Amino acid sequence: MKKFTIIYLCLYLSVFVATAQQVQLKDYHHALKTKGKAPQEYALDKIKQHDLLIFDDANHVALEPFLFYQDLLKNEGFRQNIDYIFIELFNINNQKHLDAFLNAPTLQLQLLAPVFQNELSGFSKSYQTYVDLLTTVYKINQKLARPDRVRVIAVGSPTYWPLIHDEEDLNNFRVTTDSYDYTMYTTILNYLNNFNSGKKGILLTNTRHAYKGLKDKDGRYMQNCADFFTQYKPGKTCSIRIHNAVLRAIPKTEKEMEGVARTQEGLERYHIGWGRVDNGKWDQAFKANGNKPIGFDIKDTPFGQTKFEGNQSQKAHSSMQMQDVNDGIVFLAPLENLRKSATTDIFITDDFVKELERRILILWGKPYVEEQVSKQGLKNTEEYLRALLKPEPVMPLPSAQAAVKAQ
């Protein structure tokens, strides 16, 4: 009898849990049905309501967001509503090279070499998505009168690689990146004349830079780029996350960091993991909706009321929800289908490889570089660099695949 009772209770609980999950998913699905629009239609509605759309691609190497951006630019209705494309990964002191490329009489990709060679990390991992996006802008602009052309604006902190000769220079340079998000904010404000120019734009960035209202454990804004707009220019911007896996980062101890080469991005300082949002409920809801691409506002929906998770979640106030950091979501494809951008070596010249060798000895230290060369059975640092910079094809997005496996 006892055995029968236990089996009955287990069956009852499993049915109860399954029923509760179905009820929850019904609420998610209802939000999609009542608020959802085709992604381009959703973006067009938002740019008509706001002066700046802040797109969070979730992962700079993701392919699908950049295909979406190109489709938006090819949509004449959307393009006519924007004057600027602001790009985080391009540094403001490389603006003249972007202008030279877009104003050239013929398509000349090599004019972009300094933009990719002198980015923040100093390593020039050139993603094809960015090259393709700029090419699309160039081709569209060629059909337009100059006053109607879209400008691409670099908003990342300036880089000074020619001036960095040793570790002291590198550390001084890293201090300047403390104001990274404020630099983005003020640069955009300058181009939009404090939102008094009548001009509009989109910002292409990711994760924390797009968080519009994330607060720390003391209830203070985390001072991300979108936070500044929320505090000082409320209502002018709309933060839209493109659905992807969420970052789960646990800081490493000082002991774990001993002997580890430091990078500008700082990911080596964390145990990095990836997961599905809301333990997979979002993905289940999208699947129940046929995995159709969709864009929608998340305020006062089960999506928006999901507990915040992602970059900076370790420092965030426990009350934070997803609707506190983003206004909307664009779903383009299930995690299983998301892809990583190809890379290109068109900007990797012999002279630049020599410059890279100089940089990595400062960035990573000679002992670490020599160890890597030896481990891989290579002759010298140049071989090591050329192997690292070898072009990669499009492939499944590793972070999304990790989230799928972790579920």
Q: What pLDDT, on a 0 to 100 scale, did the predictor assign at position 17? A: 42
Q: What is the DSSP string of 36-90?
A: -B-HHHHHHHHHHH-SEEEEE-SSTTBSHHHHHHHHHHHSHHHHTT-SEEEEEEE
Q: What pLDDT, on a 0 to 100 scale, did the predictor assign at position 4? A: 54
Q: Above pLDDT 90, what percent of the chain?
A: 85
DSSP E strands, 334-402: 339-340, 395-396
Q: Above pLDDT 70, what percent of the chain?
A: 93
On average, the pLDDT of the chain sits at: 92
Q: What pLDDT, on a 0 to 100 scale, did the predictor assign at position 8? A: 53
Packed helices 281-288 and 2-35: angle between N→C axes, nearest 10 degrees: 70
pLDDT digits (tens, 9 = 90+) for 227-236: 999 999 999 9
Cα separation, 99 vs 108, in Å, equals 12
Least confident of 251-255, 264-268, 372-376: 264-268
Q: What pLDDT, on a 0 to 100 scale, did the predictor assign at position 18? A: 43
Q: What pLDDT, on a 0 to 100 scale, did the predictor assign at position 5? A: 57
Q: What is the DSSP string of 134-203?
A: HHHHHHHHTTS-GGGPPEEEEEEPP--GGG--SHHHHHHHHHHGGGHHHHHHHHHHHHTGGGTSS--EEE
Average pLDDT over every residue of 326-353: 98
Q: What pLDDT, on a 0 to 100 scale, did the predictor assign at position 154? A: 98
DSSP 3-state of 233: coil
Q: What pLDDT, on a 0 to 100 scale, did the predictor assign at position 36? A: 98
Cα separation, 4 vs 7, in Å, equals 5
pLDDT at 405 over 70: yes
pTM score, two decimals? 0.90
Structure tokens given for 151: 């400008």
Residue 123 pLDDT level (bands cut at 50, 70, 90): confident
Q: Buried b vs exposed e over 384-394: b needs ≥16 C-beta within 10 Å?
A: bbeeebeebee
pLDDT digits (tens, 9 = 90+) for 168-203: 999 999 999 999 999 999 999 999 999 999 999 999
Residue 249 pLDDT level (bands cut at 50, 70, 90): confident
Q: What pLDDT, on a 0 to 100 scale, did the predictor assign at position 188? A: 99
Q: By the 8 A CB rule, do 120 and 161 touch?
A: no
36: number of Cβ within 10 Å: 20
Q: What pLDDT, on a 0 to 100 scale, did the predictor assign at position 252? A: 77
Q: What pLDDT, on a 0 to 100 scale, did the predictor assign at position 6? A: 57
**How far lies 334's CA from each of 173, 385, 394, in Å?**
39, 34, 17
Q: What is the DSSP string of 303-347?
A: TTTSBP-STTTTTB-TT-BHHHH-SEEEE-S-GGG-EEPPB--TT
Q: What pLDDT, on a 0 to 100 scale, did the predictor assign at position 219? A: 97
pLDDT digits (tens, 9 = 90+) for 39-98: 999 999 999 999 999 999 999 999 999 999 999 999 999 999 999 999 999 999 999 999
